[in-house]
Amino acid sequence: MKIQRASLAIAIGLCLASALRAYEWPLDTRALHEAWELGQRNDQGTGTFLAQYLKKIFGGENDPYTAEIEILTPYAQVADQSRRKTTGYSEQQAALDYQQRGNTILINIVIMVPAAYPTNGTDSRTTNAPSENNRAMRPENFWQNFQFIIKQKGKTIPLRLIRKNSISSSATVGAPAALDGANLRLQCDVKDVASVETTVEVVTPEAKTVRATFDLKKLR
């Protein structure tokens, strides 16, 4: 219990300290060690720290909608990768991975197909035939009809797509595997991104805009 409290206190301290300065880059040896160690603990403190970088969005009834928008600074990227590799992931490897990635801002966006969410505890694949038919017919590259924009003080920051993964459900008795959504990873250069309020916009094919704002001067 004492260890958990100490870890949470450290994470809160990191959050408060980051509010006093710009987000950190490039990362020195000390910062790399702290980020790697934070991820390796993978406890409540780690979750509290990384929660600042993620916005969950709810909505959408008939069309695909944005479910999550996450922005990761260089420091947060090290911590996030470290927490995903808690077995045999050394500090030296974390430093090497950071050097290979370079100083970038990562934006992770999850777009979900509404039929992927059952209602009243039922399986939407068997109880919502029209939605399921649309879902089954939807191409895996449906996300290409969306626009992704990052802005600071009205200025649009250059973005590039570096990875895309389809999210699919497993087949069950009487229901085939179906497309649930897409997970997209975009990237921009830290040299283009100031330590100010940053808005990530997702524009749907129907011209609906979803926004998530992050204050980078309060993130590390």
The pLDDT tens digits of the residues spanning 95-114 come to 999 999 999 999 999 999 87
pLDDT (tens digit, 9 = 90+) per residue, 52-97? Answer: 999 999 866 667 888 999 999 999 999 999 999 989 999 999 999 9
Between 166 and 135, the higher pLDDT residue? 166
Which residues fall within 8 angstroms of residue 158, CB to CB, at 6 or more apart?
A: 188, 189, 192
Whole-number Å distance between alpha carbons of 140 and 54: 25
135 close to 160: Cβ distance less than 8 angstroms: no
Closest CA to 213 of 198, 193, 196: 198
> In a 3-state reduction of DSSP, which class is residue 219?
coil
Give backbone dihedrals phi and psi of 27, rounded to 5 degrees, phi first. -90, 125
150 close to 197: Cβ distance less than 8 angstroms: no
Burial classification of residue 5, based on how many CB atoms lie within 10 Å of its CB (0-12 exposed, 13-18 middle, 19 or more buried): exposed
Burial classification of residue 168, based on how many CB atoms lie within 10 Å of its CB (0-12 exposed, 13-18 middle, 19 or more buried): middle
What token pair was written down for 85?
């590799």
Number of domains in the chain: 1
Whole-number Å distance between alpha carbons of 203 and 53: 20
Mean pLDDT to the nearest integer, 200-211: 94
Whole-number Å distance between alpha carbons of 139 and 71: 27
Q: pTM of the entire structure?
A: 0.80
Residue 128: domain span: 2-218
What token pair was written down for 113?
């197909």
- Range in 28-32, 69-73, 129-133, 200-204 the model is least confident about: 129-133
